[in-house]
Structure 1
Amino acid sequence: MRIGIVCPYSFDVPGGVQFHVRDLAEHFIAEGEEVSVLAPAESETALPGYVVSAGGATAVRYNGSVARLSFGPVTAAKVGRWLDHGRFDVLHIHEPMAPSVSVLALMGADGPIVATFHTSMIRSRTMQTAYPIIRPSLEKVAARIAVSEDARRTVTTHIGGDAVVIPNGVYVERFASAPQRPEWQSTPDRPTVAFLGRMHESRKGLPVLAAALPAVLDQVPGLRLLVAGPGDPAEASEGWPDRVRGATEFLGAVSDADKASLLASADVYVAPNTGGESFGIILIEAMAARACVLVSDLAAFSRVLDGGAVGAMFRNEDPAHLAEQLTGLLQDPQRRSVLADAGQARAHLFDWSVVAEQIRAVYETVIEGSLAAQAEPSTRWNRFLRGSAR
């Protein structure tokens, strides 16, 4: 099968959609499929052999974050050449309404098209404005996938129609077998808490976690907070109390292997995100690494944690409640162990061996539908029926 996958966000900057596209492509390549990924990337970026650069990207605000997108006539020409050369059996476009290569590929493509929606937005002026323009192109999509119920609700609210829910995937064994790192492991007097995310994005919730730490340090004075992710530590910690800053170690951006080891080494992984999340792949990664997980009670996070059955939750943007929950976990090793075991068991539901086969089934369905339509006798009556269906 020749599979074309389009990622709207630049491969220069790590993100959930980019990781999803990368892992999905590599899973299918390992199974013998021919896969090509189109994504924005700067010319000096080292890319995997299966990724084709659509050119450099521009940083724009999108869905409460800063996304690096690529658009314009030069990019459109590159998209057209990639489509012509690929002659794909199926084209899989991620975030088809993102103002980047995804929209351009959707406008220029024919044949079996699958679209995956990652974003969760209750209200979106961007979608409301863009929908009438790209509606004719969206009608070419043969199957829609949403990575969560929240992303599916965005589709039904802003676009209409429906989507099948297939979650993000994780290579569970890579996290389950990750070695612990002595410098990140806790001791009886120095428990460790981990946070991963772009520290400059307020919706990732680092300020909420920092505001909770004084109360936690009152009860657990040896606590260490390990912060991994891009951003300026001095800017992120501006205004923090001295003892909170003193308890925090900024690790910077970490490799995939180091991320897995960090999650495996920490006593608690905290996700204090304040909104804009449709799934939460990092939660699955943390659970796969057998970390005890504590998250804000966003609807998307609650679904990942099975309503709190496999992890702890606190009231969103409530530092006092976060401090109470975190202190309780740090002082109760048995509860942490029970939640970690339950979380790791649940993580297997999201392994790529499960998720990719669900996506493959969608591919095969749209390919078969396209072949059946091509084989249909081209009579006046059939043309009339197809026109009526549209």
Structure 2
Amino acid sequence: MRIGIVCPYSFDVPGGVQFHVRDLAEHFIGEGEEVSVLAPADSETTLPGYVVSSGGATPVRYNGSVARLNFGPVTAAKVSRWLDHGRFDVLHIHEPMAPSVSVLALMAADGPIVATFHTSMIRSRTMQTAYPIIRPALEKVAARIAVSEDARRTVTTHIGGDAIVIPNGVYVDRFAAAPHRPEWTSTPERPTIAFLGRMHEPRKGLPVLAAALPAVLDEVPGLRLLVAGPGDPVEVTDGWPERVRQAAEFLGSVSDEDKASLLASADVYIAPNTGGESFGIILIEAMSAGACVLASDLPAFSRVLDGGAVGAMFRNEDPAHLAEQLIGLLKDPERRRELATSGQARAHLFDWSVVADQIRAVYETVVEGRLAAQTEPSTRWNRFLRGGAR
């Protein structure tokens, strides 16, 4: 099967959609499929052989974040050339309403099209404004996928119709096999907690975690906070109490291997996100690595953590409750082990071996539907002729 996958966000900057597209493409390539990915990327970016750059991206504020998108007539020409050259059996467009190569591919493409929606938004003026313009193109989509119930609700609210829920995938075994790093592993005197994300984005919740730490340090004075992700530590820590700054160690952006080791090494992984999350792939990665997870009670996170059965939760944007839950976990190693064990077992539900099979089934359905639609007129005419002969 020749599969074309479109990612609207630049491969220059790590993100959940980019990782999803990358891992899905590599899974199918490993199974012998022909896969090509189209995505924005700067010319100096080193890309995997299966990725075709649509050109450099421009930062645009989108869905509470800053996304790097690619649009315009030059980009549209590149999209058309990629589609003509690929002659794909199925085209899989991620975030088809994002103002980037996804919309351009949707408008230019013909044939079996699958669209995956990642975004979770209660209200979106952008979507409400854009929908009438791209509605004719959206009607070409043969199957819709949402990565979560929250993303599905966005589809039903802003676009109409429905979508099948297929979650994000994780290579569980890769995280489970990650080695502990001595410099990140806790000691009885110095337990470690970890945060991963774009630290300068308020919705990722680092300010909430920082506000909780004074109370935690009162009870666990040796605590270390390991922060991984892009951002300027000097800017981010402006206004933090001195002892909180002293407890924080900033690692910068880390490789996939180091991310897995960090998650495996920490006593608790904390996800203090305040909103805008439709799934929570980092929770699955942490669970896969055997980490005990503490997350805000966003609906998307609650579903991943089975309502708190496989990870602890605190009230969203409530530093005092975060501190209370974290202190309890740090002082109860047995509970941490129980949550980590149950979380790792649940993570296998999201392994790529499971998720990719579900996506493949959607591909096969739309391809077969397209073939049936193409042959239906002649088949009906032949039945009419046979009936007339009798």
TM (normalized to structure 2)? 0.97
Q: Percent identity?
A: 89
Distance in 1 (CA, whole Å) between partners of 2:103 and 2:126 is 13
- Structure 1 match to 2:351: 351
Q: Which runs of 5+ in 1 are unaligned?
A: 383-390
Alignment of 1:227-238 (within 5 A): 227-238=227-238
Q: Where does residue 34 of structure 1 map in the other structure?
A: 34
- Residues in 2 aligned to 1:37 and 1:377: alpha-carbon distance in whole angstroms: 34
* Aligned position for 2:387: none
Matched, 1:317 2:317: yes
Matched, 1:253 2:237: no
Q: Give the structure 1 partner of residue 184 of structure 2.
A: 184
Rate the CA distance shift 1:146–1:345 in 2: closer, same or farther, 3 A.
Answer: same
Secondary structure at the aligned position of 2:251 is classed as: strand
User: 1:299: which partner in 2?
Assistant: 299
CA distance in 2, matches of 1:284, 1:189: 28
Give the superposition deviation at 1:343: 0.2
* Superposed displacement of residue 376, structure 1: 1.4
1:69 corresponds to: 69
2:208 is aligned to 208
State the one-letter code of the partner of 1:114: V
Letter in 1 for 2:162: D
Structure 1 position 314, deviation (Å): 0.2
Q: Which residue pairs with 1:219 in the alignment?
A: 219
Deviations 1:35-79 (A, max 9, x none): 000000001100000000000000000000000000000000000
Distance in 1 (CA, whole Å) between partners of 2:234 and 2:325 is 27
Residue aligned with 2:374, SS: helix
Q: Which amino acid aligns with 1:16?
A: G
Aligned to 1:338: 338
- Structure 1 residue 379: Cα displacement: 9.5
2-side partners of 1:376 and 1:331: how far apart? 67
**1:263-317 C-alpha deviation (Å, 9 max, x unpaired):** 0000000000000000000000000000000000000000000000000000000
1:164 alignment partner AA: I
| 1:377 Cα deviation after fit | 1.8
In the other structure, the counterpart of 1:87 is 87
- Partners of 1:56 and 1:351 lie apart in 2 by 32
* Distance in structure 1 (CA, Å) of the matches to 2:100 and 2:263: 33
Q: CA deviation at 1:120?
A: 0.1
Q: 2: distance between equivalents of 1:381 and 1:135? A: 32
CA distance in 1, matches of 2:371, 2:380: 19
The code of the aligned residue for 1:176 comes to A
Look up the equivalent residue of 2:306 and give its one-letter code. Answer: D
Partner of 1:386: none
Query: What is the CA–CA distance in structure 1 between the aligned matches of 2:378 and 2:44, rounded to whole Å?
Result: 50
**Structure 2 residue identity aligned to 1:221:** P
Q: C-alpha distance in 1, partners of 2:203/2:238?
A: 17
* SS of corresponding position for 1:36: strand
Q: Distance in 2 between matches of 1:24 and 1:380?
A: 38
CA distance in 1, matches of 2:60, 2:161: 28
Does residue 1:167 correspond to 2:167, yes or no? yes
State the one-letter code of the partner of 1:54.
S
RMSD: 1.1
Aligned counterparts of 1:347 and 1:229: Cα–Cα separation in 2: 23
CA distance in 1, matches of 2:327, 2:237: 21
Whole-Å Cα distance in 2 between the matches of residues 280 and 377 of structure 1? 45
Q: TM-score, normalised by structure 1?
A: 0.97
1:144 paired to 2:144 = yes
Q: How many residues align?
A: 382
Q: Which residue of 1 aligns with 2:267?
A: 267
Secondary structure of 2:85's aligned partner: helix
- The residue type paired with residue 221 of structure 2 is P
2:388 aligned residue: none
Match of 2:8 in 1: 8
Q: Distance in 2 between matches of 1:130 and 1:87?
A: 28
Change in Cα spacing, 1:272 to 1:358, as seen in structure 2 (3 Å) is same
Match of 2:198 in 1: 198
- Give per-residue Cα distances to partners, 1:308-331, cap 9 Å, x unaligned: 000000000000000000000000
Matches within 5 A, 1:103-118: 103-118=103-118
For 1:114 and 1:283, locate their aligned partners in 2 and report how far apart those are by CA, in whole Å. Answer: 26
Give the Cα separation in 2 of the matches to 1:95 and 1:269: 28
Paired residue secondary structure (1:376): helix
Give 5+ residue unaligned stretches, structure 2: 383-390
**Residues 380 and 134 from structure 1, CA distance in 2 versus in 1: closer, same or farther, beyond 3 angstroms?**
farther
Query: 2-side partners of 1:47 and 1:252: how far apart?
Result: 21
Moved over 3 A (4+): 378-382
In the alignment, the residues of structure 2 paired with residue 261 and residue 379 of structure 1 have an alpha-carbon distance, to the nearest angstrom, of 58
Aligned to 1:125: 125
SS in 2 for 1:377: helix
- What is the alpha-carbon distance in structure 2 between the residues aligned to residue 102 and residue 117 of structure 1? 11
**Per the alignment, in what secondary structure is the counterpart of residue 377 of structure 2?**
coil
Label 1:136 to 1:381 Cα distance change in 2 as closer, same or farther (>3 A). Answer: farther
